[in-house]
Structure formats: C-alpha cells, structure tokens
Amino acid sequence: MKLSELRKGEKARIIACADDIPLKLVEMGCLQGREIQFLCAAPWGSPRYYRLGKDYIALDRALTERIEIRKIHEPETNLATRR
C-alpha cells in the first residue's frame, strides 16, 4: 500500500520509494526498512506529519503517494487475533 493510505496513528515500514521522489527525502532518512508513523494532517489535508525513525517530518501529500509501505500491526491486535 501507499504511505498516503495509512490512517492516523498507524505505523508502517518503508518498502520502496518511487525513483522520482526528491533526493532530499532520501537524505532525510526515507529509506527502505525504516519505520514510519502517520501522526496527523494539517486541517487542509496537506502537509502531513510523520514520525520517521526518531525524527519528525512534514511532507506534502503528493509525496506520500510515491512511497510504498507495509503496515506494521500493533502487538495488542496480534494478541487479540491469536486468542
């Protein structure tokens, strides 16, 4: 799924970034395998606020469509499904 599809509070791991994302985003630590969490969006839907590893970062919504992720399920929900 895409980063833009992540819901508020959800965590994910980055799988791949489109080749045309700005180099700056890679330099800011948007790398394969990094954990990313969607914290909130500005009242007008863009930009969006993420925790990327230990850093906080604001991204234009258009950029989040170009980042491929895999959702991380919280341990609690894992336990719940096991029961």
Partner 1 sequence: MNRKQTWLLVGNPNTGKTSLFNKWTGLRQKTGNYPGITVKKQTGSLPPLGRLQITLWDLPGAYSIHPHSPDEQVVLETLLGRHGVFDGVVLVADLQHLRKNLLLLSEIVDLGLPVVLVINMCDEAARKGIRIDTQAIEKDWGVPVLTASAKNHLCDQTANPQTLVDAMQRARQMKARRFFPHYKLETSHFRQFLQRHTDVNAYRLWLLYTEQKALRGTAPEQEKDLPPVDPEYNAVKHRLHREVVLRYRDIGRLLAKAYAQKQKTVHPLTERIDRIMLHPVLGILIFLLVMAGVFQAVFAWSATPMEWIDRQGLHLAIWLQNSLPAGPLTGLLADGLVPGLTGVLMFVPQITLLFLFIGLLEETGYMSRIVFLTDRLLRPFGLSGKAVVPLLSGTACAVPAILGARTVENAAQRLITMLVTPFVTCSARLPVYAVLIGLVIPQRSWLGGLVNLQGLMLMGLYLMGFGMALFSAWILKHFIRSGYPALLIMEMPHYKPPIWRNLFHTLWDNVKAFLLGAGKIIVAFSIILWFLGTHGNDRFRQAARQDNPALQLEYSYLGRMGKAIEPAIRPLGYDWKIGIALLSSFAAREVFVSTLSTIYSVEGDGRQSLMEKMRNETDLRTGKPVFSLATGLSLLIFYAFAMQCFSTLAVLRQETGSWKWPAVVFGYMTGLAYGLSFLVYQFLA
Binding site for partner 1 (CB under 8 A): 17, 19, 22-29, 31-32, 39-40, 42-47, 49, 51, 53-60, 62-63
Secondary structure tally for the chain: helices H, strands E: 3, 5
Question: How far apart are alpha carbons 81 and 42 in whole angstroms?
Answer: 33
Residue 72 CA neighbour count, 13 Å, CB half = 15
Question: How far apart are alpha carbons 70 and 15 in whole angstroms?
Answer: 7
Smallest distance from the beta carbon of 39 to partner 1, in angstroms?
A: 7
Smallest distance from the beta carbon of 15 to partner 1, in angstroms?
A: 14
Beta bridge partner(s), residue 29: none
Query: With respect to partner 1, which residue has the nearer C-beta, 1 or 62?
Result: 62
Smallest distance from the beta carbon of 28 to partner 1, in angstroms?
A: 6
Query: With respect to partner 1, which residue has the nearer C-beta, 29 or 68?
Result: 29
